[in-house]
Structure 1
Amino acid sequence: MTTDSSTIQAARPRSGYSPLMKFSLLAISLLLTSSNAISGVMPALIKQFPDQPRANVELLSTVPSFSMIIMIIASGFIARKIGDKATVTAGLVIAAVFGVIPFFVTNNFWVIMGSRIGLGVGFGLINSLAVSMIAKFFSGDEKATLMGFRSAFESLGQSLMPLAAGFLVLLSWNSSFLVYFLAVPILVLFVLFVPKEPNNPAADDSAHAETGSAKQSVNGPILLITVFLIVAVTMYIGLTTRLSSVVTGFGFGTMQQASTLLSVMTIGGMLMGFAFGLINKALKAQTLTVGLAALGIGSLIMFFAPNFAVLCVGALIAGISYPTMISYTFNQISEVCPKGSDTLCTSVVLVGCNFGAFTAPYTLKPVGGSSLSQPYLVYGVILLVIAAGYAVYHLVRK
């Protein structure tokens, strides 16, 4: 049945939308992974607020994920009331305003915390619609291609934002928050070039068309994917959150070098996103095994790194492997979710991802104690164990 559906979708005509419209729709994904763009300036933030526990300050990097969880759930209801385009527009405006508040308010920790929560509200309004609007406007191979590009745009944003923050921190630590002004040109493009409704309603997938009339549900495999991603995202975000402190704390480099390394990691991830289709075609079910194992190996290299060069090698392996693992998992959602429940299942999985990102700073101390690098060892071992278990499961099943 899956093959027949794919054949029918591939046979549908292309949408006819302009490259500028496609770019404007994809561009909103540049922001969605930028909540931790300030991870590279974490040492400066810890120094700025010495009266706050380290975990509270590190939470500034990931707290947007908390409000994103709430708004991802609410965004579907809001979109039904005011429309997809209006919801995304509102999200971009909110992100632009709240994202730059810390640039103007530098001495009040809780105002900065509130602004970060507000940033997550804006991102949450956008998050699930960045996926569902592609399914709404496109179909078949064109939709699949744009879904891959969307993942690459996320990685590109995850790369450019920390890099820009790293350069801005040379002016002052609070200047790094100016990176969220990127929401303004994206807002202009989206408003001008993305229509409210598809030119050809028939372009919607049959599953998408059914979601309005059929009751959506979540099944066991989706819940398993969600739990897995909570664990995986918690580990990866924890590693990236702690990276800048490891670089500076061990005397490997500066905050700017740490921000640059984070950017290079995500550039590698972006390139891997473009190549994911070929990798998945070659490795099939073991794509996830390879992604998990590589992330675990990268984490262990970072733990044992004697200098900045070796640390970079481990970080690059981790940065390349993480998108491979995530892309494979998200690609499975439509394969295993109940018919007509793609939107709900995607939202549930996204909630899991953001919950993992939100809790990441609080897992660092329990697994690492007072050691800055200990989490890399613990996470590396856990990831290799999961990879081995998943590989054995599929070999036995085959």
Structure 2
Amino acid sequence: MKNSKSSKLFKLALLSISLYVYIGTSISPAASLLYQAFGSVSHTQVDLLTTIPNFGIVLGLILSPFAVKAFGQKKIIISGLLLTLICGLLPAFLTNFWLILATRFLVGLGIGLFNSLAVSLIPQLYHETNELSKMVGYQTLTASLGSALSLFIVAFLVSYGWHAVFWMYLMVLPGLLLFVKAVELPQTASQKTFHWNLPLAVWIMALLMFLVLAFYMTLGYKLPIFAVEKGFVSTSTYSMLAGCMMLVGLPVGAIFGRLYDRFKSLLLPASALILFAGFLVISLANNLPVLLVGDILAGIGYGLIMPVLYRLLDRFCPHELVASATTLVLISGNIGCSFSPILLEVLGGKTAQAALLISAGFFAILFMVSLIYAVGRKA
């Protein structure tokens, strides 16, 4: 028996698919093992095993609206979860590098099919302001929780070899079963196609998402190098530390609804200021405790800025265009993640510390611009 959208089980099942939107790159702590396993392949190519899911996600996001129009939202979400589960597990049984690379791309494709729906279904189903803000906050919380959980699992499995790491994708199975059992989506919601004629504010939000994620991603690939170079942590313990840091944003997501109702547009400059402080503290850290303080600040800032951007998107975009706007913003964000190393190198971030300082500079600029905008709206 299916549950109404107001039931706790329905909400839990709907949010559960967000557990998996960030798990495409969670195998990164196994990089050193993968370098050893594929000694005949360059390190740059081996790194693709971690980053290529982002390109698959972009393709999945592009295909998702057309697939939804043909088959409906629920079937596409289930298909995406199945593709993520099966292709995520396949490398545990494979030894050919190129076959594994192909499955990693398909993992991203699967995530891309349900990624935008995990976000856009919330404003489609919940229209009351308080409930909508709470669900948007819970969605970000759930995504961070899924990322942290995947990193904890990888930290445990990595000691059993690189093949074992891919068993992490079994975590998709419970969410898949829960979604199939508990969620029934309105048939009218599936009769949507992608609209390019979106308000200018949506395109600005897409550009902002590109920049925010491009600069925030420096924590993902530069912070481990920075921490190890400084002698703060060993490579083997970084996955556990990264998982712990992902949990920092959870309390923020849990109370986001109340924060947004109280502060509205001021939350964007506040989150940018916290991110600036976090990146600055990290880049200037000379010991592990200071680094952790910076990482905690960055985690809080990220836990705020992502639901703020999605909530602002809901405000600026007509209800009937929310799905298309969400897809555009997610595509832009994933492209930002993919091209982050190139962008930072062009800007002069050749060392880990330089890249972190450049990111701090971006969030300082975002703070000033968004504060001027927020104060101007109140004037």
User: So what's the TM-score if we normalise by structure 1?
Assistant: 0.85
TM-superposition CA deviations, 1:312-360 (whole Å, max 9, x none) = 2111111110121111111011211245211111111111111111212
Counterpart of 2:64 in structure 1 is: 75
Residues 44 and 147 of structure 1: CA distance in aligned 2, closer, same or farther (over 3 Å): same
Runs of 4+ in 1 over 6 A off after TM superposition: 213-216
Instruction: Determine if the alignment matches structure 1 residue 34 to structure 2 residue 23.
Output: yes
CA distance in 1, matches of 2:373, 2:120: 32
TM-superposition CA deviations, 1:179-200 (whole Å, max 9, x none) = 11111222222222222547xx
Letter in 2 for 1:314: G
Counterpart of 2:10 in structure 1 is: 21
Deviation at 1:81, TM superposition (A): 1.4
Deviation at 1:90, TM superposition (A): 0.9
SS of the aligned residue for 1:181 comes to helix
Residues 388 and 147 of structure 1: CA distance in aligned 2, closer, same or farther (over 3 Å): closer
Of residues 323, 328, 333, the one that matches 1:353 is 333
Of residues 264, 267, 281, the one that matches 1:287 is 267
Residues 300 and 138 of structure 1: CA distance in aligned 2, closer, same or farther (over 3 Å): closer
Counterpart of 1:111 in structure 2 is: 99
Letter in 2 for 1:360: S
Instruction: Determine if the alignment matches structure 1 residue 88 to structure 2 residue 68.
Output: no
Deviation at 1:299, TM superposition (A): 1.2
Counterpart of 1:187 in structure 2 is: 176
Tell me if the contact between 1:95 and 1:118 (Cα under 8 Å) persists in the aligned partners: yes
SS of the aligned residue for 2:180 comes to helix
CA distance in 1, matches of 2:259, 2:121: 26
Counterpart of 2:292 in structure 1 is: 312
Counterpart of 1:247 in structure 2 is: 227
Counterpart of 1:3 in structure 2 is: none
CA distance in 2, matches of 1:57, 1:331: 37
CA distance in 1, matches of 2:260, 2:157: 38
Tell me if the contact between 1:239 and 1:375 (Cα under 8 Å) persists in the aligned partners: no
CA distance in 2, matches of 1:344, 1:79: 12
SS of the aligned residue for 2:23 comes to coil
Counterpart of 1:321 in structure 2 is: 301
TM-superposition CA deviations, 1:286-305 (whole Å, max 9, x none) = 21112112112211221122
Tell me if the contact between 2:133 and 2:256 (Cα under 8 Å) persists in the aligned partners: no
Residues 144 and 314 of structure 1: CA distance in aligned 2, closer, same or farther (over 3 Å): closer
CA distance in 2, matches of 1:168, 1:16: 37
CA distance in 1, matches of 2:158, 2:195: 49
CA distance in 2, matches of 1:174, 1:214: 39
Counterpart of 1:301 in structure 2 is: 281
Worse-matched range after superposition: 15-24 or 333-342 = 15-24
Letter in 2 for 1:20: L
Letter in 2 for 1:63: I
Tell me if the contact between 1:216 and 1:341 (Cα under 8 Å) persists in the aligned partners: no
CA distance in 2, matches of 1:392, 1:143: 27
CA distance in 2, matches of 1:379, 1:100: 35
Tell me if the contact between 1:334 and 1:342 (Cα under 8 Å) persists in the aligned partners: yes
Deviation at 1:120, TM superposition (A): 0.7
The correspondence of residues 1-398 of structure 1 with structure 2, limited to 5 A, is 15=4, 18-49=7-38, 54-106=43-95, 108-140=96-128, 141-197=130-186, 217-338=197-318, 340-367=320-347, 370-396=350-376, 398=379
5+ residue gaps, structure 1, are 1-13, 202-207
TM-superposition CA deviations, 1:149-184 (whole Å, max 9, x none) = 222111110111112111211222332222111112
Worse-matched range after superposition: 138-147 or 287-296 = 138-147
CA distance in 1, matches of 2:282, 2:222: 11
Residues 71 and 336 of structure 1: CA distance in aligned 2, closer, same or farther (over 3 Å): same
Tell me if the contact between 2:89 and 2:166 (Cα under 8 Å) persists in the aligned partners: yes
Tell me if the contact between 1:58 and 1:361 (Cα under 8 Å) persists in the aligned partners: no
Worse-matched range after superposition: 76-85 or 355-364 = 355-364
SS of the aligned residue for 1:100 comes to helix
Letter in 1 for 2:62: I
Residues 70 and 295 of structure 1: CA distance in aligned 2, closer, same or farther (over 3 Å): same
C-alpha RMSD over aligned residues: 2.7
Tell me if the contact between 1:65 and 1:120 (Cα under 8 Å) persists in the aligned partners: yes
User: So what's the TM-score if we normalise by structure 2?
Assistant: 0.89
Tell me if the contact between 1:128 and 1:346 (Cα under 8 Å) persists in the aligned partners: yes
Residues 72 and 300 of structure 1: CA distance in aligned 2, closer, same or farther (over 3 Å): same
Tell me if the contact between 2:53 and 2:104 (Cα under 8 Å) persists in the aligned partners: yes
Residues 41 and 212 of structure 1: CA distance in aligned 2, closer, same or farther (over 3 Å): closer
Tell me if the contact between 1:168 and 1:176 (Cα under 8 Å) persists in the aligned partners: yes
SS of the aligned residue for 1:317 comes to helix
CA distance in 2, matches of 1:347, 1:307: 41
Deviation at 1:34, TM superposition (A): 1.5
Tell me if the contact between 2:193 and 2:324 (Cα under 8 Å) persists in the aligned partners: no
